[in-house]
Chain A
Amino acid sequence: MTFVDVCALEDLVTERGTGALLGDTQVAVFRLADGTVRAVQQRDPYSGANVMSRGLVGTTRVAGADGAERDVATVTTPMLKEVWNLETGEVLDSGGKVKKPLLVFATEVRDGRVLVADAPNPLVEA
């Protein structure tokens, strides 16, 4: 796995996404309010369209393994509004449908540049 330089951090609008192309792989890259960057697969697994970067970001309160609650960053697909955890790719709201997780790509911000891994993390068990 290697990290690919996709853009400058300041090219990204806070709490909005953009698409990026890593070889043949399309990813959706989001800059969060805390200045960190997340990346997930661009394809919305429900509609099959490459639109995840156009979804709205936000947060959902979840209980961790220790029972403590925290807010995790989320993205909602613009198509039919299913919601995912941006850190793990886990489906948080599938609207009652089968859960289809998103692949997550590791990211780094180095010297004001945004780097995205060219291969996804292994799927996390929900």
Chain B
Amino acid sequence: MSSPLSPAAHTVSHAPAPLSGARIVVVGAGMTAHRFAENLTTQDPEGSWSLTVIGDEPYLPYDRVHLSEWFATRDAGALSMNVDVWDDPRVTLVTGDGVAALDRQANVVTTKSGHQVGYDHAVLATGSWAWTPRAEGTDLAGTFTYRTMEDVERIAEWVRLREQSLGRPVRGLVVGGGVLGLEAAAALQSLGASATVVEFTDHLMSAQLDQGGGEMLRLLVEDLGMAIRTGAAAQRFLPAGDGPVGTAELSDGTVLPVDVVVFSVGIRPRDRVAREAGLAIDERGGVVVGTTCQTSDPAVWAIGECASFEGVCAGLVAPGNDMADVVADRMLGGDRTHHRADEGTKLKGVGVDAASFGDVNALSAGALEVSFVDPVNRQYRKLVLSDDAKTLLGGVFVGDIELYAALRPLLGRPLGADPAAIISPDGGGGVELELPDDAIVCSCQNVTAGTVRGAVTEQGCTSMGQIKECTKAGTVCGSCVPALTKLLNAELVKSGVEVSDALCEHFAMSRAELYRLVSDEDLATFSEVVAKFGTGRGCAICRPTVASILSTLHGGHVLEGEAAAVQDTNDHVMANLQRNGTYSVIPRMYGGEVRPDQLLEFAKVAQEYGLYVHITGAQRIGMFGARLDQLPEIWRRLVAVGFESGHAYGKSLRNIKTCVGQAWCRFGVQDSTTMAVKLETRYRGLRSPHKLKFGVSGCARECAEARGKDVGVIATHKGWNLYVGGNGGANPVHAQLLAEDLDEATLIRYIDRFLMLYIQEADRLQRTAPWVAERAGGLDELRRVVVEDSLGIGAQLEATVQEHVDSYEDEWSVTLADPAKLRKFVQFINAPGVADPDLAFVPERGQIKPAAEVDAVTYHDPRDARDAGLAGSEGAR
């Protein structure tokens, strides 16, 4: 491997003592069992022991913490944890068979299928049950718990079938408003169901948040469309006419119609095997263990949620992992002990931020609370401090949890800054909090600030990826990543390493620098550029970047000569890859206009190929699901009626959104549509560091949302106002006014200059907004260069754009006329007519979508999927 890293090793506090010949059995194959097996195999690579891990779930041990992500991928395999350990010849993994009994006299475990395994050491890692409340009707069809892969698969299937048979969206109810309940509610929403959450206490996440935080969280999840009922319990469930659950009665007398119910009211340790084996069990359940994680029988250990330590069964993975570490260490002769620290809790998977740690309700004697509440912006922050206001005892963060990662490691330590300043709206950033080396930054993996610093200074890590690989920090819940990033950068700066702006492994300079070099030396191919300024043969980062630079400097077709080999994969086939390997087809619709005759041909194509049709978010129409080998035939028909590439796949001008303007609208003061068509015609196909979007509105009412675009043009009575540096997307930014009341020629001159500057100077994948914000001198300096031409480069910038305009040809038309370029549009070079046999589609609302793993009936031909949908109960809506 190229990285300077040793493989992730947990610290070993001893020289491994031989476990020679020992037979180890782990009961349960969940998260902590996996951690234990990983520890043992990596820490004692030569040992001659044998390890058998027995789990009753029919899957490879998977990452339960990220269970909800299954809904996004529908792929059980995507959640499995590092599978290398199961390849170790000393390790045997049994799945789908539970342990029925542990015989401590004979030192044997017996599985339900009658399989017997002898042991010298047994480790119980059986986790928990999800609890179902005592209420009538909790056994009706349509009621679920939320704990296992099987649970989520069954929930998804139920919602799908119920929606089909009811012919309307499904109504969901989650009983329990804790972190898991909210996660389950978000999952129901993602399946298209509505979600009501019933919580017995008076606020959400009552185990982790104080009342104020809980109330803010309520506002936030209500914004997401969830309905919240606190102070109520689910008392009774009654069946619908056809049998499954149909109504829920709450303790406050409310009766709710429901089609699916998920219980998330807590967990109970799975201690039956231990109990029947006569091991000590805590009165509240759980196998009693001490700091060594041994049970009342020293040959039997217990880790994870089934183990009761100091009377508590932890419901989080971090203490379980620590216990797994302790047992592996001890078996190998070490003397590690288990400790509990406050881990803090962060809500995840809901799309709303809430996190807390420590004494959230300020119950410690004399504790002081400092809070900031802003219901308008949905923010709540509270710090709990010791009576002298010095030591941090707890924190609650809802809405904006940036401070959580930075403050949690300081729990029980001096805060070292004014608490009010830290939590005030603009305070946090300014206050510098230096973490002590022994402060835990990543509590999931128990990694201290010192370990992260060491990874930089001693192991040479320079990126977040390397930090993760090296220390494992940041790989479970991810909430510590901001804090890790700060530590990493601070350490890099301290050790004199410049925070590198290298493009990638192959080019040591930034994109802007490379642009200048390529332009000065007048290089024309990737091979020349990499030979002169880089190393190796490039990668998926630098190849498309160089392709884009060469395209701006020299024009030419994207698939001409060597350029074909360096284009990003989307540019290479001039279409955008979809999740199942098919493509979208999005032709340009200048100014949002499309002629009826074009629309007819578009519809015919979609009909004949069975493609999915969607009005895109950018004022044009897309077809989805086209196979690689179909793209040329489809485009031939589109080009024939005057369509052109819409560059929806390129880092280049996408579309120009516009309104009907003066031509039709009562308020319009300029012809915005014509202006949009002119601009789109001018800048189409211009390759840039990131995609470019424009908007043109016919008056200040701004129906085209031009200020949300990289370039916004808004009509005035005297001409056009030019705005730059806006975008929607992940971090929406409003474009800022660059110049007012421009005539057409000046407007175009300024846009030419602005775009070329951006193309020359911006980083790879940096949109105009951050480029403008970070550019020295900001908007004022930019105005001097673009409007006043203070550098005297205006004419040159315009000339480069003009060259592009003059040499522009539609990529698809050129490709269709060149048999050589068409050759790659096949799935199989040795079987050109054959389509990917694994493609599968299902009907939805009279059209198609890619099939997922759970879909029982799928169609290889999208037209069959569509027709089945139209013919079936689903029908076209």
Using CB atoms and an 8 Å cutoff, list the residues of chain A in contact with chain B: 4-7, 11-16, 18-21, 24, 26, 29, 32-33, 43, 46-51, 54-63, 69, 71, 73-74, 76, 78-79, 81, 83, 92-93, 95-96, 98-99, 125-126
Closest to B464 in A: A96
Contacting pair B829 A7 (CB below 8 A): yes
The residues in B between 71 and 85 inclusive whose CB is less than 8 angstroms from any CB of A are 75, 78, 80-84
Tell me the complex Cα distance, A98–B84, Å: 9
- B573-A50 in contact (CB<8A): no
**Chain B positions within 8 Å of A61 at CB level:** 2, 505, 535-536
- Asked if A93 meets B577 with Cβ closer than 8 Å, knowing A46-B78, A54-B569, the reply is no
Would B577 and A51 count as touching, CB distance under 8 A?
Answer: yes
Inter-chain contact B577/A21, CB cutoff 8 Å? no
| C-alpha gap A99/B566 in the complex (Å) | 26
Q: Could you say which of B82, B505, B565, B577 contacts A54, with CB atoms under 8 Å apart?
A: B577
Q: Compute how far the CA of A29 lies from the CA of B828 in the bound complex, rounded to whole angstroms.
A: 10
> Which chain A residues lie closer than 8 Å to B834 at the CB level?
21
Q: Enumerate chain B residues within 8 angstroms of A48, measured Cβ to Cβ.
A: 75
Indicate if the CB atoms of A59 and B572 lie closer than 8 Å: no
Of A11, A55, A59, most buried by chain B (CB within 10 Å of CB) is: A59
How far, in Å, is B365 (CB) from chain A's closest CB? 43
- Contact bitstring B524-567, A, C-beta under 8 A = 1, else 0: 00010000000111111011100000000000000000101110
Bound state CA distance, A126 and B217, in angstroms? 46
B569 and chain A: residue at smallest CB distance: A78
Given contacts A21-B830, A21-B831, contact A69 B569 (CB under 8 A): no
A-B contact pairs, 9 of them (CB 8 A): A11-B823, A13-B824, A15-B537, A33-B537, A58-B506, A71-B537, A78-B570, A79-B579, A98-B82
Interface centre among B75, B506, B580, B829 (most CB of A within 10 A): B829
**Which residues of the partner chain A approach B573 to less than 8 Å between Cβ atoms?**
54
- Closest approach, in angstroms, between the C-beta of A26 and any C-beta of chain B? 7
Cβ-neighbour of A51 out of B527, B568, B581, B830 (below 8 A): B581
B interface with A by C-beta (< 8 Å): 1-2, 75, 78, 80-84, 87, 465, 468-469, 475, 505-506, 527, 535-540, 542-544, 562, 564-566, 568-570, 572-573, 577, 579-581, 628, 823-824, 826-831, 834, 836-838
Residue of A nearest to B828 (CB): A21
Contacts of A21 in B (CB 8 A): 828, 830-831, 834
Interface centre among B469, B562, B828 (most CB of A within 10 A): B828
- Asked if A15 meets B2 with Cβ closer than 8 Å, knowing A21-B828, A21-B834, A33-B537, the reply is no
With beta carbons under 8 angstroms apart, the residue of B2, B540, B581 that contacts A69 is B2
Q: Complex Cα distance A43/B581, Å?
A: 10
Within 8 Å CB of B542, what residues of A? Answer: 58
**Contact in complex: A93, B823 (CB < 8 Å):** no
Assess whether B827 is in contact with A49, with CB atoms less than 8 Å apart: no
Residues of B within 8 A of A93 (CB): 465
Contact A62 B581, CB 8 Å, known A7-B829, A14-B565, A18-B829:
no
Chain B contact surface mostly? loop
Q: Which of B75, B87, B469, B536 has the most CB of A within 10 A?
A: B536
Nearest residue (CB) in B for A43 is: B838
Given A13, A59, A78, A95, which contacts B564 in the complex, CB threshold below 8 Å?
A: A13
With beta carbons under 8 angstroms apart, the residue of A32, A47, A125 that contacts B579 is: A47
Instruction: Give the distance to chain B from A21, nearest Cβ to Cβ, in Å.
Output: 4
Give Cα A54–Cα B649 distance, bound, in whole angstroms: 14
Kindly list chain B residues whose C-beta atoms are within 8 Å of the C-beta of A92.
1-2
> When chains A and B are docked, how far (Å) is the Cα of A96 from the Cα of B66?
14
Smallest Cβ distance from A109 to chain B, in angstroms?
A: 14
Task: Tell me if A20 and B828 are in contact (CB < 8 A).
Answer: yes
Task: Report whether A59 and B539 are in contact in the complex, using a CB–CB cutoff of 8 Å.
Answer: yes
Q: If A49-B581, A83-B539 touch, does A56 touch B568 (CB 8 Å cutoff)?
A: yes
Is B536 a contact partner of A60 (Cβ separation < 8 A)?
yes
Say which residue of A13, A79, A81 sits within 8 Å of B565 (CB atoms): A13
A54–B570 alpha-carbon span in the complex (Å): 9
Give min CB distance, B737 to chain A, whole Å: 37
User: In the bound complex, what is the Cα–Cα distance between A104 and B4 (angstroms)?
Assistant: 26
For the complex with contacts A12-B829, A50-B827, A99-B82, 8 further pairs of A-B residues with Cβ separation under 8 Å are: A4-B830, A19-B836, A29-B829, A49-B579, A56-B568, A58-B538, A61-B535, A74-B539
**Complex contacts, B829 vs chain A, CB 8 Å:** 6-7, 11-12, 18-20, 29
Residues of B within 8 A of A5 (CB): 830
The contact of A49 among B80, B580, B830, by CB within 8 Å, is B580
> Are the CB atoms of A62 and B568 closer together than 8 Å?
no
With a cutoff of 8 Å between Cβ atoms, the chain B residues found around residue A11 in the complex are 823, 829
How far is it, in angstroms, between the C-alpha of A44 and the C-alpha of B831 when the chains are bound?
20
**Residue from B535, B628, B824 with most neighbouring chain A CB atoms (10 Å):** B824
Q: How far is the CB of A65 from chain B (nearest CB, A)?
A: 11
- Residue in A4, A7, A60, A96 whose CB lies within 8 Å of B505: A60
Of the candidates B2, B87, B537, the one whose C-beta lies within 8 Å of that of A57 is: B537
Query: Within 8 Å CB of A78, what residues of B?
Result: 569-570, 577
Question: In the bound complex, what is the Cα–Cα distance between A24 and B834 (angstroms)?
Answer: 12
Assuming the contacts A33-B537, A61-B535, asked whether A16 and B572 have C-beta atoms less than 8 A apart, the reply is yes
Output the residue of A16, A47, A58 with the most chain B CB within 10 A: A58
Question: When chains A and B are docked, how far (Å) is the Cα of A24 from the Cα of B831?
Answer: 12
CB distance from B495 to the nearest CB of A (A): 22
Given A71-B536, A78-B577, residue A98 in contact with residue B80 (CB < 8 A): yes
Query: What's the least CB distance linking A104 to chain B, in Å?
Result: 17
Cross-interface CB contact of B826 among A18, A33, A56, A96, cutoff 8 Å: A18
Given contacts A21-B831, A51-B581, contact A58 B540 (CB under 8 A): yes
A83 and B540 within 8 A (CB): yes
Which 5 A-B pairs give the minimum distances between C-beta atoms? A59-B536, A78-B569, A76-B540, A58-B539, A49-B581
**Which A residue sits closest to B542, measured CB to CB?**
A58
Whose C-beta in chain A lies nearest to the C-beta of B469? A96
Chain A residue with the shortest CB-CB distance to B540:
A76
User: Roughly how many angstroms separate A58 CA and B569 CA in the complex, as a whole number?
Assistant: 13
Chain B min CB distance to A78 (Å): 4
Q: What's the minimum C-beta distance from A9 to chain B, rounded to whole angstroms?
A: 12
Expressed in whole angstroms, the minimum distance between the Cβ of A16 and any Cβ of chain B is 5
**Residues from chain A with Cβ under 8 Å of B628 in the complex:** 54
Q: Give every chain A residue within 8 A of B505 (Cβ-Cβ).
A: 60-61
* A63 pairs with B539, CB closer than 8 A: no
Q: Which residues of A contact B827 (CB under 8 A)?
A: 19, 50
Whether B537 lies near A56 (C-beta < 8 A) is no
- Nearest opposing residue in chain B for A47, CB measure: B579
Partner of B836, one of A26, A55, A63, A69: A26
Give A79 to B828 CA distance when docked, in angstroms: 19
Residues of A within 8 A of B465 (CB): 93, 95-96
- B565→A59 contact, CB < 8 A: no
In the assembled complex, the Cα of A11 lies from the Cα of B535 at a distance in Å of: 27
A20 touches B570 (CB 8 A): no
**A residues in contact with B80, CB < 8 Å:** 98
Q: How far does the alpha carbon of A83 sit from the alpha carbon of B539 in the complex, in Å? A: 9
A residues less than 8 Å from B75 (CB atoms): 48
Considering the complex, give the chain A residue whose CB is closest to the CB of B81.
A98
Q: Which residues of A contact B828 (CB under 8 A)?
A: 19-21, 26
